[in-house]
Structure 1
Amino acid sequence: MARVLVVDGANVVGSRPDGWWKDRPGAARRLHERLLVADLAYDEVVLVLEGGAKGGVRAGRDGDVRVVHAKGSGDDEIVAQADRPGDVVTVVTADRMLQARAASKGASSLGPAWLLAELEQ
């Protein structure tokens, strides 16, 4: 049983008005870099990217962080990644509809503020 953290990249990046909209690929890259060096209590971190943010980080695995490029809706990809029977999955998003969809797959949710605080430690 693995502890898995699924990160809604767009929602986390969009939670702070720091100019991310001017450089979506750069914002995704900065989040990815922070996840790579973070000491999170999870066996795997899945960063889901959509739209222009996909240009900032290639899909694939770097250590404990796996980047997934959503082929369609980012929310649909997050729900698919949360569907891991036997694993303990937590989704990071403030989107209540997405939280409910993830919960239907057995995942719990935390907000972007939690993750950003963890990344600042």
Structure 2
Amino acid sequence: MIIDSANVVGSVPDGWWRDRAAAAYRLHRCLVDARLSTVDRVELVLEGPARQGVPESTTGSVWVRHADGLGDDEVIRRACSVVAAGEDLTVVTADRALADRIHAIGADVSPPSALLREIDY
């Protein structure tokens, strides 16, 4: 699973825009604490100021990736790598343009609401 963190965080109107780093940290903590049983590995893609909330690292099955530029481009880059390795992949995003790109490479898309129901965010 690859998570478009900006899109997931942005789907909850809780003031995240005042402190993007704190919002990224909170999402990361929730993912680590949830220990999602349906996936072996979660890649959380952070962009811009959100990168300050969590360093690139691995905690359990949660891997944090920092986008050098646009988060969507990093999501696509990571998704292409996973699909090329022959692995099944779901990307969590509500961004329609990104979802179209994800479907074009042969991966599935899930909305942020589905992920948020599984974690305590």
In the aligned structure 1, how far is the partner of 2:117 from the partner of 2:57?
Answer: 25
In the aligned structure 2, how far is the partner of 1:68 from the partner of 1:46?
Answer: 7
* TM superposition score normalised by structure 1: 0.93
| Structure in which a larger fraction of residues adopt strand | 1
- Which of 2, 6, 10 in structure 1 is aligned with 2:6? 10
- Which of 25, 48, 73 in structure 1 is aligned with 2:21? 25
| Structure in which a larger fraction of residues adopt helix | 2
Q: Supply the AA of the counterpart residue of 1:21.
A: W
CA apart distance, 1:105: 1.7
- SS of equivalent to 1:94: coil
Runs ≥4 in structure 1, deviation > 6 angstroms?
Answer: none
Match of 1:80 in 2: 77
The root-mean-square deviation of aligned C-alpha atoms, in Å, is 1.2
For each residue in 1:17-66, what CA deviation from the matched residue of structure 2 results, as whole angstroms up to 9, or x when unmatched? 10001110000000000000113210100000000000000002111000
- SS of equivalent to 1:25: helix
In the aligned structure 2, how far is the partner of 1:120 from the partner of 1:31?
Answer: 9
For each residue in 1:70-89, what CA deviation from the matched residue of structure 2 results, as whole angstroms up to 9, or x when unmatched? 01111000011111221111
Q: How many residues align?
A: 117
* TM superposition score normalised by structure 2: 0.93
What fraction of aligned residue pairs are identical, expressed as a percent? 50
In structure 1, stretches of 5+ residues that fail to align are none
Matched, 1:94 2:94: yes
Aligned ranges 1:39-118 → 2 under 5 Å: 39-40=35-36, 41-83=38-80, 84=82, 85=84, 86-118=86-118
In the aligned structure 2, how far is the partner of 1:55 from the partner of 1:120?
Answer: 22
